[in-house]
Structure 1
């Protein structure tokens, strides 16, 4: 059987400050291919090129990646400020309705960093523009200097809900992760369950309550060293299982017709 197809939601960039591209980090493709055992497919996240209806019929699962641009605050009813940073309105226009469609269809997705924030906003939640400005919160941003190994270094613990979804997936209630984000959840969206918290109370793991499929999202970056990291590997493995299950069920009617 062919590998399930995982659409990796890409970001818009300029190469050499002038050549526009749609791209996704190689770490995401590596994790999907090597750990989830699915075929990664970069999605140009722009409604001029793709539609939600086409995407859900083309891919078996979706990875909503991190990225420098943030979800525009208008998407959760707030006014843009300098603290909200850069934006990618084309990605907003694809990612948010796509997440809502996947939730209702039961089609699997995994959200990472910006993807975690997109899940919350898609379900009606709001975001803080800058976590480090909140009283009692640590600086969750990526260090500005150092090697990739130093930037993706594990920096804080996350505690999952006793007996919750992430506790079951990880086989542990407390895990150590990296931290490379500036924004975070303010008000959780409808049906969004906060299932894991950083040491300072920042939400780091969520899923959608009563959704028929895999809807896990994390605020850290598990794509880093996913094949070897004891926290990343089970997350991508379980996501791959969900994508294979969807692909098998999708193929069942055509197989019965042969």
Structure 2
């Protein structure tokens, strides 16, 4: 029996949002991300709370073989990238604290990461990039907007096309130079962090996917593959590739630990 088989599926951490429902202070992640990890990536998700009370992250990083940074209703605080907050900007400083610190720690270890929507924006900020507070005010297309009058399945259908960069992770998975995506966001990448390499762009030039250079699998996408896992080939391939990378990472770390004990 292999090391991997004897221990079951790898654990993947999912960073929560923190918000209030009435007087109740909650930490949560949408079930669509949990389902995509279990059925698409074949891993077991564990939720990581969003709280500034956490000041030591090595225990979390030691316990998991990958990290998912999901979308969320809030925005990264503008002061973290030298921007100016809009009056109506909803923020989650607790999530910023946890997500940005975990990203930097995971990158130092070579741990697999998948960052989606808000997570994509966090990844750019974590490594020194900046964001457009409002992409539409910055001259980008209205195709990125979410129409809250639509029902949920309609909202998460294809919004626009992206051009896939050659010789990247997505080009290997998509097998096509262009794909349709369900991209819904107000903020977006402005100046790209130096460590990041473009994986896809929208027709208006906005970066819609990137990877951390010289990292086996650390990918950010602005769209929502978790919502289209059943009927979109790239979405399924993306989660399968992330899961495979997590299994390779776990196997490598277990082998290293076994050698140290020998």
Question: Per-residue deviation at 1:13?
Answer: 2.2
Post-superposition CA distance 1:15-67 (Å, at most 9, x none): 2x221110000000000000100001111021314732121111110000010
Of 155, 166, 184, which aligns to 1:180?
A: 184
**Corresponding residue SS for 1:132:** coil
Question: Per-residue deviation at 1:255?
Answer: 4.6
Of 47, 60, 63, which aligns to 1:58?
A: 63
Of 65, 69, 74, which aligns to 2:74?
A: 69
Question: Per-residue deviation at 1:139?
Answer: 4.0
Aligned alpha-carbon RMSD (Å): 1.6
**Corresponding residue SS for 1:131:** coil
Of 204, 215, 218, which aligns to 1:215?
A: 218
Question: Per-residue deviation at 1:148?
Answer: 1.2
Question: How do 1:97-108 and structure 2 match up within 5 A?
Answer: 97-108=101-112
Q: Distance in 2 between matches of 1:48 and 1:25?
A: 23
Q: Distance in 2 between matches of 1:56 and 1:23?
A: 19
Q: Name the counterpart of 1:3.
A: 9
Q: Where in structure 1 do 4 or more consecutive aligned residues deviate above 6 Å?
A: none
Q: Name the counterpart of 2:135.
A: 131
TM-score normalised per structure 2? 0.92
- In the superposition, relative to structure 1, how do residues 23 and 153 fare at CA in structure 2: closer, same or farther (>3 Å)? same
Is 2:152 the partner of 1:148?
yes
Q: Name the counterpart of 2:250.
A: 247
Question: Per-residue deviation at 1:79?
Answer: 3.5
Say whether the 8 Å CA contact 1:131–1:139 is kept in structure 2.
no
- In the superposition, relative to structure 1, how do residues 81 and 94 fare at CA in structure 2: closer, same or farther (>3 Å)? same
Is 2:237 the partner of 1:234?
yes
Question: Per-residue deviation at 1:206?
Answer: 0.4
**Corresponding residue SS for 1:133:** coil
Of 27, 31, 34, which aligns to 1:29?
A: 34
Is 2:18 the partner of 1:12?
yes
Structure 2: any 5+ residue segments left out of the alignment? none
Say whether the 8 Å CA contact 1:128–1:183 is kept in structure 2.
yes
Mean Cα displacement is larger for which, 139-148 or 121-130?
A: 139-148
Q: Distance in 1 between matches of 2:176 and 2:56?
A: 39
Q: Distance in 2 between matches of 1:90 and 1:229?
A: 33
Aligned pairs, number: 255
Mean Cα displacement is larger for which, 4-13 or 244-253?
A: 244-253
Q: Name the counterpart of 1:115.
A: 119
Say whether the 8 Å CA contact 2:143–2:160 is kept in structure 1.
no
Is 2:201 the partner of 1:197?
yes
Post-superposition CA distance 1:186-236 (Å, at most 9, x none): 10011111220111111111011123x311110001100313321210110
Q: Distance in 1 between matches of 2:220 and 2:254?
A: 27
